[in-house]
């Protein structure tokens, strides 16, 4: 059965050629089928669209008006189809990523560069926030994917661990004597401590581990960024709990020193987070695959 859209496509083709036979040839239809389609459209619209001439057909005034609108509509549809093809081939579109400042700076930049080089037409939008804020944004549809500190307990999320990180304690030169040999947690916790503020996954993970060992945490400083932890330790304001992988530059240059523990904190993971209730776009899938080749 010929749809209404098909009737308009047939009308448009006849209008361009001013001929039923030429239109039929282009559309791979019989001439009677084209004539019947135009008759059906005229019946639906209750008006004549063409007048016959010795050379073929010409648009009536009503047909001329309809032709202008149909040409515009079909052009928009063609543009939409091209755009859809661009989306499918990742030539255009947007990828919205939720990530904290520290993970973005020390972990994600390399992957963002690779993705942009492969798919330069995809606009990258970065939303900064804590793990809790990123999870909220995922559920609200404000971001497509999040890169967060694990663990996260949420059955609505799909979590894919993508890297292991280690929490350590570091100090400046003032406390360098603490690095000679491994020390006990009880000894370390008597020192002035510098931690991320409450609410961060990193702080929560370490604090819960210490509580399991029977220790309560009472930091001297609660700070809002990992970089501040490093700087406060550098100027000897205390001993900072930092992520080893994100403090490599300070450690390798001897600006800060790692304090070995008798009871090291267990390593934890970074994770790629997506919301189960929303199908992943092709751009999201390609981005995840760049980070973790296990993702298919």
pLDDT tens digits, 220-258: 999 999 999 999 999 999 999 999 999 999 999 999 999
* 151-194 residue pLDDT tens: 898 999 999 999 899 999 999 999 999 999 999 999 999 999 99
Burial class (CB in 10 A: 0-12, 13-18, 19+), 19: middle
pLDDT, position 294: 61
pLDDT, position 173: 96
The count of other CB atoms within 10 Å of the CB of residue 85 is 11
For β-strands 239-243 and 193-196, DSSP reports them as parallel
pLDDT, position 1: 55
How far apart, in whole angstroms, are the C-alpha atoms of residue 223 and residue 229? Answer: 7
Provide the whole-model pTM.
0.69
- Range 94-162+271-291: architecture per CATH: 3-Layer(aba) Sandwich (3.40)
> What percent of the chain is helix, strand and coil (3-state, nearest 5)?
50, 20, 30
Give the residue extent of every domain in the chain: 4-88, 94-162+271-291, 167-266
* Residue labelled with tokens 């403090």: 247
How far apart, in whole angstroms, are the C-alpha atoms of residue 122 and residue 285? Answer: 13
Confidence of residue 34 (pLDDT cuts 50, 70, 90): very high
SS3 59: strand
Instruction: Catalogue the long-range contacts made by 99-102 (C-beta closer than 8 Å, 24 or more residues apart).
Output: 99/126, 99/127, 99/128, 99/129, 99/134, 99/146, 99/147, 99/148, 100/128, 100/129, 100/130, 100/131, 100/134, 100/148, 100/149, 101/128, 101/225, 101/226, 102/225, 102/226, 102/227, 102/243, 102/246
Nearest alpha carbon to residue 84 among 76, 48, 32? 76
295: pLDDT strictly greater than 70: no
Helices 4-17 and 31-45 cross at an angle (nearest 10°) of: 110
Confidence of residue 60 (pLDDT cuts 50, 70, 90): very high
197-218: average pLDDT: 91
pLDDT, position 184: 95
What CATH number should be reported for the domain whose range is 4-88?
1.10.10.10
* 75-120 residue pLDDT tens: 888 877 767 776 677 777 889 999 988 899 899 999 999 999 999 9
Equal CATH topology for 94-162+271-291 and 167-266? yes
2: pLDDT strictly greater than 80: no
* 118-138 residue pLDDT tens: 999 899 999 998 888 999 999
Lowest-pLDDT choice from 5-9, 43-47, 85-89, 124-128: 85-89
Q: The CATH number of 167-266 is which of 3.40.50.1980, 1.10.530.10, 3.40.190.10, 2.40.50.140?
A: 3.40.190.10
How far apart, in whole angstroms, are the C-alpha atoms of residue 55 and residue 41? Answer: 22
Helix (H) or strand (E) holding 162: strand 157-165
């Amino acid at each position: 059965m010929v749809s209404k859209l098909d009737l308009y496509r047939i009308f448009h083709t006849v209008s361009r050629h001013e001929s039923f036979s030429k239109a039929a040839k282009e559309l791979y239809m019989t001439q009677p089928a084209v004539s019947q389609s135009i008759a059906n459209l005229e019946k639906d619209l209750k008006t004549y669209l063409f007048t016959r001439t010795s050379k073929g057909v010409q648009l009536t005034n009503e047909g001329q008006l309809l032709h202008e609108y149909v040409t515009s509509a079909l052009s928009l549809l063609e543009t939409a189809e091209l755009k859809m093809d661009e989306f499918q081939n990742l030539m255009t579109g947007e990828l919205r990523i939720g990530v904290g400042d520290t993970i973005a700076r020390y972990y994600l930049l390399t992957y963002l560069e690779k993705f942009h080089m492969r798919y330069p037409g995809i606009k990258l939008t970065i939303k900064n926030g804590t793990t809790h804020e990123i999870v909220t944004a995922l559920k609200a549809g404000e971001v497509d994917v999040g890169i967060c500190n694990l663990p996260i307990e949420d059955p609505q999320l799909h979590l894919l661990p993508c890297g292991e990180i280690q929490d350590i304690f570091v100090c400046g030169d003032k406390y360098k004597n603490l690095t000679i040999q491994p020390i006990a947690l009880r000894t370390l916790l008597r020192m002035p401590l510098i931690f991320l503020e409450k609410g961060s996954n990193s702080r929560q993970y370490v604090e819960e581990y210490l509580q399991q060992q029977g220790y309560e945490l009472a930091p001297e400083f609660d700070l809002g960024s990992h970089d501040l932890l490093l700087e406060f330790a550098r100027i000897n304001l205390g001993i900072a709990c930092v992520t080893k992988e994100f403090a490599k530059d300070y450690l390798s240059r001897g600006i800060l020193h790692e304090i070995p523990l008798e009871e090291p904190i267990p390593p934890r993971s970074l994770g790629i987070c997506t919301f189960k209730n929303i199908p992943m776009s092709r751009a999201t899938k390609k981005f995840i695959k760049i980070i973790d080749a296990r993702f298919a």
